[in-house]
Amino acid sequence: MKQYEFTIIYERDEEGRVLALCPALQGCYAEGKTEEEAKENILEAIRANIESRLAHGDPIYEEIGTVKVAIMA
């Protein structure tokens, strides 16, 4: 069994719900009423995504790093 590490990004939508996204796993996201609920849901989604990729022989990309930038607009 291999351990994977992924970055999770949290955003708040217009209705106040928390969105959790895993950029390394395209299309892997979840939501919740709170950050904690969103975290629980995204961890479940990540596990399911990895299991599906492994079952189908699809690659699981590993993150190299993250950078936060500021843009003036």
14-65 pLDDT, tens digit each: 999 999 999 999 899 999 999 999 999 999 999 999 999 999 999 998 889 8
Domain containing 2: what range? Answer: 1-73
Among residues 68, 64, 58, the alpha carbon closest in space to that of 27 is found at 58
Q: What is the CATH number of the domain that holds 31?
A: 3.30.160.250
Look up tokens 């892997």; give the residue.
28
User: How many domains are contained in the chain?
Assistant: 1
Cα separation, 9 vs 30, whole angstroms:
11
Entry pTM = 0.86
